[in-house]
Structure 1
């Protein structure tokens, strides 16, 4: 036997059935105005490969590929993307009818045994008359898209970070080689001064000056080794390895060490040749993950406005249940009752709370818009700064090359004059300091130029 309950809201339900359940219109994401081209001069392009291939360094290539596979920040971003995908599926599931079942049996003892039993199915469907469910799906979709773009952005950042730390590692290696050369040069000068002093041709003050310069140069080794260790440990973390054991940890690391050792001196720092085409400022809006993620946060704010506006609309749900039995264990399957209803919620008065929440959501959307615009402008500024840096370091490198040539000539002349007693030791030491300083400056400049190329492709989000 099946009994159907009355539907007191049936008339209201039928009258609302023809109404379109349209979610509130969310503010569209505005289009940013980008300049047609960068103001700085773009470096040569034409490489149809990963941007770091422009260094032509197989060790760097291997490190970046390993880092993109094993970096823990990338792993975390992938996990957040999976979480966002699951939440999106959950929000979409709210658009479907829900169905649950329940059963209960009670047995009591006392003056007379008694029992009771009930079982049934319970369901509900929300046609989304207010548009809230649609807006929540839009919000979850924007959060998923943000997580996806942040994952791509994390890969961009990790690749550039590995390249930067590798350049620093090579720079400190070259500094140590240069320090050994400078030390050897100053030791030779100290020997000459000592011999002249022993022969009565130089004062003890000259010996002390030469020894002081040599000690000062040797003292720089500790600071270089600190920087080298920091770069190596930073590389280990970026590759998901334990700091301190990364250096001798594998055959690849041993090969990297051997190549660096064989290529000591100023040329130990890889030079950047040709990279992929950078495009223009508008390409930043399509390639920079952080810019697109900021756009997705703006879309989330717009969806949140839709959610808050839905609270001003009536909401409608259709609850239903199917109960079997007459209340006793023996009569569990003797009867069946089906109920279908409709529940309408009409917002009437809340003291202005709902509209205040809408105002807050709109203000948050304006803040998200400002952050979106700021993110793009910062990205544009990073590219422009990198272009200026590349040009400046290139010009500075040419001047330093000339300075080294002049310093080498000055040292040779002052040394020859000193041996003949026509120049003072002060002239020799001063020429040595200038040569060592120029070589160090050129080495640092080459590292800075390489880092500027890395910063450019990081800022431009060159394809990887």
Structure 2
């Protein structure tokens, strides 16, 4: 039976009080974490005063309750199951979880089963002798007196939690992107319908001007002007067809598969004015974003992890105490293993105190401190970005409806103007230039109205996204202790 003990040594005077305290209770050199103050105003300039007091916060509304169109719900469900970027984000979470478990395992000894057999000449008589041993062993287990391994575990935990928040951000972005892509396709179909009707009208104008030219009622200039406008409408129609295909391809990429045939077939009959309404959303306070936005929480977890790295860097200046131990049976004959008198154990503690490392530990500490300052700046930037995104969405919410009302009235006025111009031209009271100008004006205002409606609906999607809506907390994962 053998037992090895570490001989007593006199520690340096500067370290002795701290070493004694650590040996008694253990310690951690991780600085106390304090959340930086939010570098934004206390309230949004436009907070949506017309939102009912009973309205729920965006983060409390499931995307199925916010996007009530069954077709859009189906598309979002497909994307959540098939999108490759979201799949990568989920796998990153699993990888970070495994890395955390690796770091946490470092706090516990690793016990191995050991079996060996040797045959070597004896020092005494030169004859060969056998030695067999079997048992359990602990190899170089670091006893974490100064919290180095604990700090690395805290950093790995923060990295895992940050990766989980990144997954939530990816889901929010995906839900919003699918909703926006679906609305864009609806707008494309509506613009195609306007261009199709405009092209038919201008082709009729070409026939009319040619007929009037043949009867000497109009000039050749009118005929060429009508032909020019018809060709312009035809070019615009082709351009919009191409854009429609590109937007469908973009949506298919988000879905991870082609657009279902039945949903594609339903698009030509849909109009943005008939889109399912979305719930009004209260903006709340900028401080709410700290809890509601996964990207801000991700930045804060990275800051917590950078703070823990400082603890690990500080602990590197202090001794590392490790323990190697074995317990088992030793015998000159294989048949003698596990018999009475063959049992033995060894215990070998080891202390390593850094004396000279050419500044490596100091550089590691300085790097960790710089990393924390970088993480602070990134955290503050994420808050500022979120504040700007919410403010932009609120600005759109406050003004887009007014713009739509004005453009709708303008479209109705231009439609009346076109009817009157056409009547006056047919009766020879007005010139063809008046009719052409009325056609161009109506075409432009109809297109602008569709685009503004799309912008308003997409702004509602964006507001839901930037307020933290679009993900469901499934729980799970290690908790911080």
TM-score by length of 2: 0.86
Task: Report the counterpart of residue 476 of structure 2 in structure 1.
Answer: none
The 5 Å alignment of 1:232-311 reads 232-241=248-257, 246-247=258-259, 249=260, 253-254=261-262, 256-264=263-271, 267=273, 270=275, 272-311=277-316
The structure 1 residue matched to 2:362, chosen from 349, 355, 358, is 355
Candidates 401, 419, 427, aligned match of 2:434:
427
Q: CA deviation at 1:310?
A: 0.7
Q: Which runs of 5+ in 2 are unaligned?
A: 12-18, 122-126, 472-481
**8 Å CA contact retained: 2:6, 2:350:** no
1:39 pairs, out of 45, 48, 55, with 45
| Structure 2 CA distance for partners of 1:195 and 1:271, relative to 1, 3 Å | farther
Find the aligned partners of 1:349 and 1:20 in 2 and give their Cα distance: 28
Aligned in 2, Cα 1:198/1:56: closer, same or farther, shift over 3 Å? farther
Which one of 63, 78, 81 corresponds to residue 93 of structure 2? 81
Matched, 1:405 2:412: yes
Question: Is 1:67 aligned with 2:72?
Answer: no
The alpha-carbon distance between structure 1 residues 164 and 339, as it changes in their structure 2 partners (threshold 3 A), is same
Are the counterparts in 2 of residues 322 and 337 from structure 1 also a CA contact under 8 Å? yes
Deviation, structure 1 residue 171:
0.8
Match in the other structure for 1:313? 318
SS in structure 1 at match of 2:25:
coil
List aligned pairs for 1:132-281, cutoff 5 A: 132-241=148-257, 246-247=258-259, 249=260, 253-254=261-262, 256-264=263-271, 267=273, 270=275, 272-281=277-286
Paired residue for 2:24?
19
Q: Does structure 2 conserve the Cα–Cα contact (< 8 Å) formed by 1:321 and 1:338?
A: yes
Native 8 Å contact 2:22 2:145 kept in 1: no
The alpha carbon displacement at 1:299 in A equals 0.7
Matches of 1:25 and 1:115, distance apart in 2: 52
Shift of 1:27: 4.2
> Contact 1:401–1:442 at 8 Å: present in 2 too?
yes
Q: Quote the Cα distance in structure 2 between the aligned partners of 1:166 and 1:311.
A: 55
Other-structure match for 1:121: 136
Alpha-carbon distance, 1:106 to partner: 5.2
- 1:113-133 CA distance string (max 9 Å, x none): 875534343214433112101
The C-alpha deviation readout for 1:305-339, integer Å capped at 9, x for no partner, is 11111111122122211353245545545633311
Q: Distance in 2 between matches of 1:288 and 1:63?
A: 24
Instruction: Report the CA distance shift for 1:399/1:15 in structure 2 as closer, same or farther (over 3 A).
Output: closer
Q: What per-residue deviation string (whole Å, max 9, x for no partner) do you get for residues 430-462 of structure 1?
A: 110000000001011111111111111111112
Cross-structure match for 1:96: 108
**CA–CA distance in structure 2, aligned partners of residues 273 and 339 of structure 1:** 71
The Cα of 1:100 is off from its aligned counterpart by 1.4
Q: Give distance in 1, aligned partners of 2:278 and 2:391.
A: 19
Cα 1:364–1:195 shift into 2, 3 Å: same
Q: Go from structure 1 to structure 2 and tell me whether the alpha carbon gap of 1:17 and 1:148 turns closer, same or farther (over 3 Å shift).
A: closer
| Distance verdict in 2 for CA 1:215–1:132, change over 3 Å | same
Per-residue deviation at 1:403? 1.4
Checking the alignment, whether the CA contact within 8 Å between 1:271 and 1:446 is kept in structure 2 is no
Distance 1:120 1:132 in 2: 30
**2:5 aligned residue:** 7
Q: CA deviation at 1:199?
A: 0.9
- CA deviations over 1:226-250 (Å, ceiling 9, x no partner): 2222222222222221xxxx24x4x
Aligned partner of 2:70 in structure 1 is 58
Query: Structure 1 residues 219, 366: CA separation in 2 closer, same or farther (over 3 Å shift)?
Result: same
What is the rounded CA distance, in whole Å, between the counterparts of 2:375 and 2:77 in structure 1? 35
Distance change (3 Å), C-alpha of 1:17 and 1:392: closer
Normalising by structure 1, what TM-score? 0.89
Q: Quote the offset at 1:66 in angstroms.
A: 2.6
Change beyond 3 A, Cα 1:6–1:454:
closer
Rounded to whole Å, the distance in 1 between the matches of 2:80 and 2:63 is 14
> Which residue is equivalent to 1:343?
350
Residue deviations 1:396-454 (CA, integer Å, cap 9, x gap): 21221121122112212221221122211111111100000000010111111111111
**In the aligned structure 1, how far is the partner of 2:461 from the partner of 2:397?**
10
Counterparts of 1:102 and 1:183, CA distance in 2:
86
2:196–2:237: 8 Å Cα contact kept in structure 1? no
Q: Kindly tell me: are residues 336 and 216 of structure 1, through their superposed partners in 2, closer, same or farther at Cα, counting changes over 3 Å?
A: same
- Distance change >3 Å, CA 187–CA 6, structure 1 → 2: closer
